[in-house]
Amino acid sequence: MNDAPLELPEVGWMGSARLTAGLDRHQRLDLAAHARTHQPLRQLDREELLALADAVALPGRGGAGFPFARKARAALAAADRTGAPPVIVVNGAEGEPASAKDKMLLTRVPHLVLDGACLAAAAFGAEEIVIAVTAGSPGEISVPAALAERELPCQARTLCLPERFVSGESGALIRGVNGLPVVPSPLKSRASDGGTGGVRRRPTLLSNAETWAQLAVAARLGPDAHAAVGTAAEGGTVLLTVNQPNGDPLVVEVPAGIRLGLVLDACGLRPGAGVLVGGYHGAWLPPTDAVDVPLSRAGLADRGGTLGAGAIVALPDGTCPLGEIAQVAAWLAAESAGQCGPCKRGLPAAAEALALLAAGAAEPSALEDARSALGAAQGGGACSHPDGTARFALTALDVFAEDVDAHLAGPGCGRPVRGVLPLPRANGARLEVDWSRCAGHGLCAVLAPDLVRLGPHGYPTSTAMPVASWQEHGARRAVSQCPALAIRLRHRG
């Protein structure tokens, strides 16, 4: 393997260490260490593997939680119908700033992920295995090194995707594998059916890196031993990324159904002002609910939450909740692919309304404007990005209602924004307004309607707007045609 040191996410576990087994003794499990840590993996035929996935009720661990067995049966039915062998895809393109579990798996225990993918490839007669990782991530080094160490049931390759939030969306990932721009497909199609939604139009079985690792664990343990931890409905363990203020994230393996308060205590954290569960497409819980909520899909759903990709952030009392939320909302709006109305108009409008609320400069209608924009973004997007962003922001407005009232009533809550919610280093471009020159012509809002909105007096409502790649054309037009030369486009990075 390359001699350059890998960035190795910190790991912990509560109770049974399954996915994290061996990491108390090894920084990374190469094939030899993997073989010493895990018992040999018995090969399963098609029906045996499907029966196992049914017996353990394995859900997808990438966020949606779609049952693995149903997805596999759909891909196999398409393969039988068309005569085209399926393609196995491992989704390790983790563009979620609050999540590090897939990075941990592909960096520290890559053979466990490959075990699951190879098990399915052999059982289902796959044509190829594709492991998608984020460009520049440790997986770009670790995965090819692991592939070179082992025998494979079919050809396999590593694909590097851009470090963007939408790169991990299944349709965007498949487009990337097919050599197309890595953005969600404008037409809804299932990868398992093949055709335009699959790799090279083949039936495609795509699952998250943790799902493949969990499949390998279940195959070694069998259904009964697998169910020895967890709940009756959701057996086994769950990988969480617990974000620590001013520290690196901690990836923790816990039994499904464990109380969130126990996990926070073990990590030295308190619920603070509120707890985000599920990452930036997840939901906020008030501290009183967060302590006792079980970390299972059903348990979180009962409290209006979602497990999502398992990312957790406890917001300390010493930071401004609205300022934190507004920063993430602006980043999420800029991370969209800009292909549909909710992403082009709804998310930027909501981000701007939240920024005004956070600044204590909002009109009385700002809260309703934000809720209206977020509500309109739900249910109509080309992918789940608008829905997830709306859930993140709307639950925040409910959990931090007292802070919202304080910002509407005056200059704000008085607390600084400490940047507790993790975001990538700022890069890209921003459209900036020079108030000493702006004369309120309003032409910028006509030329770049997805970026610039005007207040009641005809002036832009924001002095600095993040510019997504799909917005740059409109931004440049606004800069070049502003009669007062009051707008400039600044690039960072």
User: Residue 206 phi/psi, 5° resolution?
Assistant: -110, 125
**Both structure tokens of 75:** 């891909």
Is the pLDDT at 364 greater than 80, yes or no? no
Confidence of residue 63 (pLDDT cuts 50, 70, 90): low
Region of 196 please: left (phi>0), alpha (psi -120 to 50) or beta: alpha
Q: Do residues 465 and 431 lie in contact, with contact meaning Cβ atoms separated by under 8 Å?
A: yes
Return the number of other C-beta atoms located less than 10 Å from residue 247's C-beta. 9
Return the CATH superfamily for domain 10-224: NADH-ubiquinone oxidoreductase 51kDa subunit (3.40.50.11540)
**Rounded Cα–Cα distance for residues 54 and 367 (Å):** 45
Percent of the chain's residues with pLDDT above 90: 59
Q: Do residues 142 and 106 lie in contact, with contact meaning Cβ atoms separated by under 8 Å?
A: yes
The average pLDDT across 371-383 equals: 76
Confidence of residue 462 (pLDDT cuts 50, 70, 90): confident
Confidence of residue 308 (pLDDT cuts 50, 70, 90): confident
SS3 content of the chain, % helix, strand, coil (to 5): 45, 15, 40
User: What are 80-117's pLDDT values in tens digits?
Assistant: 999 999 999 999 998 889 999 999 999 999 999 999 99
More confident of the two residues 190 and 464: 190
pLDDT of residue 109: 98
Percent of the chain's residues with pLDDT above 70: 96
Is the pLDDT at 2 greater than 50, yes or no? no
**Rounded Cα–Cα distance for residues 342 and 184 (Å):** 14
Mean pLDDT check: name the lowest of 191-205, 385-399, 465-479.
Answer: 465-479
Confidence of residue 304 (pLDDT cuts 50, 70, 90): confident
User: Residue 11 phi/psi, 5° resolution?
Assistant: -130, 145
CATH code given to domain 426-493: 3.30.70.20
pLDDT of residue 309: 86
More confident of the two residues 448 and 256: 256
pLDDT of residue 380: 67
Is the pLDDT at 342 greater than 80, yes or no? no
Is the pLDDT at 161 greater than 70, yes or no? yes
User: What are 37-56's pLDDT values in tens digits?
Assistant: 999 999 999 999 999 999 99
User: Residue 92 phi/psi, 5° resolution?
Assistant: -115, 20
Is the pLDDT at 5 greater than 70, yes or no? no
Please give the C-alpha separations between residue 344 and each of 233, 427, 479, in angstroms, as whole numbers.
40, 20, 19
**Rounded Cα–Cα distance for residues 386 and 342 (Å):** 6
Q: Report the candidate in 381, 311, 349, 6 with the shortest Cα–Cα distance to residue 166.
A: 381
Tell how far CA 373 is from the center of its chain. 22
Residues β-bridged to residue 159: 132
Confidence of residue 152 (pLDDT cuts 50, 70, 90): very high
Confidence of residue 394 (pLDDT cuts 50, 70, 90): very high
Is the pLDDT at 265 greater than 50, yes or no? yes
- Domain borders along the chain are 10-224, 426-493
Q: Which amino acid is at 211?
A: T
Q: Which residue has the tokens 């061996």?
A: 22
The average pLDDT across 318-347 equals: 86
The average pLDDT across 201-229 equals: 96
Tell how far CA 337 is from the center of its chain. 15
